[in-house]
Chains A and B, each alone.
Chain A
Amino acid sequence: MEQNQAQSPSPPLDTRFDRLNSDWYFDKLAQVLMFIGGISVIVFIIGIFVFVSIEGFGFLAGKFEFSEFFFSPDWRPTSQTKETYGLLALMAGTASVTGFAMLVAVPFSLGAAIYIAEFSSGKKREFLKVTIELLAAIPSVVWGFIGLTIMNPLIIQIFHVPVGLNILNAGIILGLMAAPIMTSIAEDALKAVPDRYREAAEAMGATRWQMIYKVILPAAKNGLLGAILLGVGRGFGETMAVLMATGHSINLPTSVFDSVRALTATIAAELGETAVGSDHYQALFAIGIFLFAVTFVINLVADLIVRGVRKG
């Protein structure tokens, strides 16, 4: 009814067109608020990057040597004779733990996602989804605690090794930590595949598994890769659980039973003990820059993949 009135020609309406009413101001206000909300995220991220860069810049300009920083396994920032700032062992620690975590998490999370999305239904499906999302909310310090008090003696007992805080321990803990969020994302990706693909494949005589393997997984490929990369990013950035479960000793690992130390854990453990502005302090921020860069690249790649580089 009101629409009809508005459409019908009435002279008073025309004269009001050049005046701004409350709707117009409200619309502008909403636009400005949304803009501030949106832009602030970007401002914060740039702010953090600038802050980390400024703190780390002193190191990059001074003690930083490219070959030592990236290729020396010696991280001895507090040495009395000669300080060395080599990240190789720390990078190896982070990489090995993250890699092992993915070995654990990828089969678990993809399996769980496929089961939830394709095989379960109704109440069971809802229950599983809620439970898995609950798992994702467990604080990382709790996971670290489990690594320290449960996994540690178990590994010593089962494998007869002197120390149970090692790549194996941290990898499993980190894998279990990353699996819920990966499952959740992967399940979303599978559910986004239209049902008509399933019906078409099954109607032509594909078995459940053939349908999943030949049709659903290729269709959801990008989303699944995105889920895995998200897990990698999670493992890369995780600090507390890794600090507690790796053994935190600087080492170039040769087996999964070696203790290692991660980049993130190094910052967390040492930053409180350094004098603000010292070489050591600045070197830790340089690690921060490095982590920032790597995480940025991982996220960028994940984003590109999820958006779909659909070739071949």
Chain B
Amino acid sequence: MVTVTAPQGATPHLEVRDLTIHYKQFAALENVSLEVRQNEIFGIIGPANAGKTSLLKAINRMDLFDSSMRVEGQILFNGINTRKVRNVYGLRRQIGVVFPLPVGLPLSVYDNVALAPRLAGTKNRSDLDVIVERCLRRAALWDEVKDRLMALGSLLSGGQQQRLTIARALSQEPQMLMLDEFSIAVDPVTTMRIEDVLKELKKEVSIILVTNLVQQARRLADRTAFFLDGKCIETAVTEDLFTGAVQDQRTRDYVEGRFG
């Protein structure tokens, strides 16, 4: 299968080729090919069980946690085949993930954000201070927690924890950020704040945004892929999905809410 090269001529940041994922006999993803460009927000929409989360897991090599998960095909990150990478820890540090439910690790707010830099070897307290403040600011959380950095991260409210999770993902200075339905446990106001954060972040990292909310994809994503039953139905510039300029009837139905 020939992948279409990006119009800008830039090499894609992430390229997925003929990816098939099985859980035991069940095929969660079949022959998916797509590419994510530098500094774009790439949306993935689709109903449950479409294979969206499985794709993210395969990209970050989280398939290693699940022995029943079988991955075939290629995923090229910066041109390197991640399926063949031996140091998966190094790879994961380049690709931050935010899970659907916020995970405030049972450490202080400060330690939550400082964890990744510490793992990478940063020991100096003032360096860490700078990183922590920068990441919390970028995640729009600094003002709310600056006076209680030593409080337990797991005691923050749901929306704050989700922004803490984003700050933590940013602290490892990733080149790519993957968000898996981040707004599921977050109130609308906080969702809007995080969305603003993402628009800013786009300047620095490439973002994959998996979302259940079609309108969220419309607000944020530059290009969007529609997944259905383990297949990537099509990928298009996001606005085309909503103006009906897409080819597939199923995509149109889903976007307009006439599905199922």
**CB within 8 Å of B: which residues of A?**
121, 196-197, 199-207, 210, 214-215, 218-219, 310
Chain A residues positioned under 8 Å from B106 (CB to CB)? 197, 215, 218-219
Complex Cα spacing A199 to B89, Å: 13
Closest to A203 in B: B97
The verdict on A204 contacting B101 (CB below 8 Å), with A197-B106, A210-B119 known, is no
Closest to A211 in B: B119
The verdict on A215 contacting B107 (CB below 8 Å), with A196-B99, A310-B152 known, is yes
Asked if residues B65 and A214 are in contact (CB atoms below 8 Å), the reply is: no
Complex Cα spacing A202 to B103, Å: 13
Asked if residues A214 and B101 are in contact (CB atoms below 8 Å), the reply is: no
Asked if residues A202 and B62 are in contact (CB atoms below 8 Å), the reply is: yes
Chain A residues positioned under 8 Å from B119 (CB to CB)? 204-207, 210, 214
**Interface of chain B residues 87 through 120 with chain A (CB within 8 A):** 89-93, 96-97, 99, 101, 103, 105-107, 115-116, 118-120
Show 10 residue pairs from A and B whose CB-CB distance is below 8 angstroms, ordered by the A residue.
A199-B103, A202-B62, A204-B93, A204-B97, A204-B115, A204-B116, A205-B172, A207-B119, A215-B105, A219-B105
- Asked if B183 is an interface residue, CB under 8 A from chain A, the answer is no
The verdict on A205 contacting B89 (CB below 8 Å), with A196-B99, A200-B165, A310-B152 known, is yes
Asked if residues B165 and A205 are in contact (CB atoms below 8 Å), the reply is: no
Q: Which of B90, B92, B101 contacts A203 (CB 8 A)?
A: B92
**CB within 8 Å of A: which residues of B?**
60, 62, 65, 67, 89-93, 96-97, 99, 101, 103, 105-107, 115-116, 118-120, 152, 165, 168-169, 172
The verdict on A214 contacting B118 (CB below 8 Å), with A203-B97, A204-B97 known, is yes
Q: Which 3 A-B pairs have the closest CB atoms?
A: A205-B93, A205-B92, A200-B103
Complex Cα spacing A201 to B99, Å: 12
Asked if residues A204 and B96 are in contact (CB atoms below 8 Å), the reply is: yes
> Could you tell me the dominant secondary structure of chain A's interface residues?
helix
Chain A nearest Cβ from B220, distance in angstroms: 22
Complex Cα spacing A153 to B122, Å: 52
Chain A residues positioned under 8 Å from B169 (CB to CB)? 204
Across the A-B interface, how many residue pairs have beta carbons closer than 8 Å? 65
Complex Cα spacing A201 to B65, Å: 12
Chain A residues positioned under 8 Å from B91 (CB to CB)? 205
Closest to A221 in B: B106
Asked if residues A200 and B172 are in contact (CB atoms below 8 Å), the reply is: no
Asked if residues A203 and B60 are in contact (CB atoms below 8 Å), the reply is: yes
Complex Cα spacing A200 to B89, Å: 13
Asked if residues B65 and A202 are in contact (CB atoms below 8 Å), the reply is: yes
The verdict on A199 contacting B115 (CB below 8 Å), with A205-B92, A219-B106 known, is no
Chain A residues positioned under 8 Å from B65 (CB to CB)? 199, 202
The verdict on A204 contacting B168 (CB below 8 Å), with A219-B106, A310-B152 known, is yes
Asked if residues B152 and A205 are in contact (CB atoms below 8 Å), the reply is: no
Instruction: Please indicate which of the listed interface residues A196, A202, A205, A206 has the most CB atoms of chain B within 10 Å of its own CB.
Output: A205
Chain B residues positioned under 8 Å from A196 (CB to CB)? 99, 101, 103
Chain B nearest Cβ from A121, distance in angstroms: 8
Closest to A193 in B: B106
Chain A residues positioned under 8 Å from B118 (CB to CB)? 214
Asked if residues A205 and B168 are in contact (CB atoms below 8 Å), the reply is: no
Chain B nearest Cβ from A246, distance in angstroms: 41
Chain A residues positioned under 8 Å from B92 (CB to CB)? 202-205
Asked if residues B152 and A199 are in contact (CB atoms below 8 Å), the reply is: no
